[in-house]
Amino acid sequence: MKKVAVLLAGSGVYDGSEIHESVFALLALDQRGIEYQCIAPNRDQHHVVNHLNGEEMAEQRNILVESARIARGEIMALDAIDVHDFDGLVIPGGFGAAKNLTDFAVNGAECSINTHVASACRAFAQARKPAGYLCIAPAIIPMIYDNGVKGTIGNDDATASAFNALGGEHITCEVDDIVFDEEHKVLSTPAYMLAGNVSQAASGIEKLVSKLVEIA
């Protein structure tokens, strides 16, 4: 049975992984008979946001502990995994991907990426194993792959410009479609960068997972 790692960045759209996107990805994998393992960095997240009012809260939370909420406790620390145990990688969006895995949300094209995240993503790339990035997570793609790697973050001009400045080639993409860079075996879809409802978000994610499973 094929097995895919799903890299989470907390729990909640404003400071962690987007929960709908994460669940859609897990569901799409399971429906295709693919085993999955949720993984996350074991460190404090950038900050904590009150999802009721959008305001920052004066507390700190651990990314792995928060991600375990989505994974129902079945989760591994990112630095404990062996890439050879997996056939592919999926990274849901949510601001956690741009705050906890990288600091793209803060620094844009001048951003950096967490060391363990970079190491894991590059290991999948070097092993020629397919990876799928959802929503804002594709901002990571040009930090991992060669210059000119294709990806999408929907149609936002500023975000697309930052993607290009990082060395990628941004492709405008509809919510129900994907961008597949065949050379690098990397896929991306806009999800909630464009989606107006859960069905729209699910449409592109299902297509991405289907393609990832096909080429894994």
CB 190 within 8 A of CB 171: no
Burial degree of 69 (CB within 10 A; 0-12, 13-18, 19+): middle
Which sequence positions are flagged as catalytic? 135
Q: Given CA atoms 155, 156, 159, 160 in this order, what sign does their dihedral have?
A: positive
Long-range CB pairs of 105-111, under 8 A, 24+ apart, other chains included: 105/46, 105/136, 106/46, 108/162, 108/165, 109/161, 109/162, 109/165, 109/166, 111/139, 111/143, 111/166
